Structure 1
Amino acid sequence: MLGKHINLTWLRTFEAAARHLNFTETAAELGLTQTAVSLHIRSLESRLGNRLFHRRARHLSLTEIGQAYVPTVRQSLSDISLTTASLFGTTTSRMVTLKAPISTCALWLAPRLPKFRAVHPDIELRLVSYIWTDTTGFDDVDVELRVGRGDWKDAASEKLSDETIVPICGVGLNSGASKIQGILTGPLIHVLGQEADWGRYFAAQDIAMPPGISGYFVDTMTAAIELAATGGGYAVVMSRLVEMANATIERVSVVGGEVSIPNGYYLMRPRSKRSKRPEVLLFEDWLFKEFSDES
C-alpha cells in the first residue's frame, strides 16, 4: 500500500539513474556518493514493492515497470519545477539550446519543432547548426545531436537511429527505363566527409565504382539536394532528409532503393556533474520519440 508520500529525493535519484544507467555517473551528477544513490533506489523500490532496475555485473538496466515509470516521474519533476518558477520566479532560463548538423536542422528538426512547442509553449528553443563536428565542449549547449559511429572521445553518446541513404536526382532527369544506367552517366554529387557513400551504393548494386564520372563536391547534404533538384546530377543522401525537400512541391526523385550505412544519429551525453533541467529532459524524451516514430 502506498499510504505515505514517496520521498522526492528518491524520485530525482531514480530519474538520473534511469538516464545514466550507471550509479557512479548518477552520484557524480547529483553530488552524492554511490552508496547514497544505491540507498535511494533500494528505498524507492522497497516503498513501491517493485524492482526498478536489473543489476548485473558492470551492467544496469531498467525493468519493464521501471521503463513505464520513468516518463511519469520525469513529467512530474518537470511540472514541479515549472510551476515553482511560474509562481515564485527563477533565475534559471527555460530555454533549451540544441546543436545539430546543418542539414539535419534545416530538413528534419526545424519542421518538427513546432510540434514540441505546441505541447510545451513555455519552453523556448534555440537551434544552433554546424557543418563539421566540434568537440570543444558543451558549455552553451543543452542537447547535441551528432551523426557518426558513436566513437567520440570527448563524451559518451546514446544511439538514436540507424540510417540509410538513397540516390536522388531532379524530377524528370532520370526518365529512362534503367535508373542505374542513368546514374552511371553522372554527374555525381559528393558530400565532403561522406564521399564513401557513393561507393557503398554501387557496392550494394554489385557494381564497381565507375571511374571518371564528372561531378561536384559540396559540404552539406542540403546543398547536395538543392544541386540535384536543379538538375545538377545525382546525389546519395540520408533517406530521412528527402521528405522535407519535397514538402511543398516535388523537386527530387528517389531513383534507387535504400542502402544501410554505418553512421547513425547519436544524442551526446556529456559527463556533467550538474543535474539537467527538467525542460532539457523533456526535449530529450521528445527527440527519442520522434526518431522512434520514424523507425
Structure 2
Amino acid sequence: MQFIANAIDPIAFRFAGRDVRWYGILIGIGIVIAVWMSMAEAKRRQIMPDDIIDLLLWIVPIGFIGARAYYVIFEWGYYSAHPAQIFAIWNGGIAIYGGLIAGLITLIIFCYYKVLPAWLVLDIITPGVMAAQILGRWGNFMNQEAYGAKTTLSFLQGLHLPQFIIDQMWINGAYRQPTFLYESFFNLIGLIIILALRHKKDLFKRGEIVLSYVLWYSVVRFFVEGMRTDSLYIFNTIRVSQALSAVLFFVVIGLFIYRRRVTKPEWYLAGSGLKYPYHR
C-alpha cells in the first residue's frame, strides 16, 4: 500500500535570520571539491595552482549567472510575469548547460590573457567539474525537482534504493522516477573512468579529457532528459537539453576525428602528461 511519505526539509538550518538550504550547501561543497581536484592536477601538469584559483574566481560566479540566465530565457513566460523570482536562485532553476557554456567562454578569455593552453586547462578542471555536477544533482533531490514521470513504490523498491530516497520521490501525490539519481550515478561512472584512464601513457591527446566528458554527458543527458517532466522546450515540442546534447555529441565526434589527424606533438597530454610540459 502506498503512503504519503515525509519529504526532507530543503532548509538545512537558519543563520542570521536567513534560510540556509541544502541546495546551496551541496553546491558549495561541490565547488570546494572541484577546486581541490583542479589544484592537485594543475601541479601534476605544471600549471601554477594560483592560476587555477584565479580562473575559478571568475568561472564560478559567471557560470552561475549563465546557468540561471539559460533557465530564465527558456522559462521567460513565467519569469516575465514574476520578475522578482529571476534572482531567487535558492529555489532552484539553474541549467547545467548554461553554466558550462558561460564557463567555457570565461575560460577561453582567461587563458588568452594569461597565455595558458586552454585545452590543457580544460583537461585539468574537467574531473572537478564532474564531481561538483554529480553532487549538485543531490541538491535537486533535496528540492524535489528534476524528477521524472509517475511510477510505483514497487518499482522504486526494485531498484534497491535507500528508503530516504524512495520517501523523497513522493511528489505531488505520486511516486516519481528519480532522474536526478540516474544522471548523478552515470556521471559518477564517467568520472571514475576518466580518473582511471587520464594518466595512461599516450592514451589521450591534449583536450580529449574534456571532450570525453562532453561526449559522455551528452549521451547521459539525452536519455535522462527524455524521462524528465520539467524540461525546457523550444516551440513547446523540442526539449532544449536533448537537442543540445545531440548537437554536442556529433560536434565532439567530429573534433575527435579531426584532432586525431593532426599530429603536432605539443597536443599530446597522456601518460604523465609531462612529455611536453607547459612552463610559465
TM-score tier after normalising by the smaller chain length: under 0.3
Q: Please state which structure has a larger fraction of its residues in helix.
A: 2
Q: TM-score, normalised by structure 1?
A: 0.26
Structure whose CA Rg is larger: 1
Q: Please state which structure has a larger fraction of its residues in strand.
A: 1
Q: TM-score, normalised by structure 2?
A: 0.27
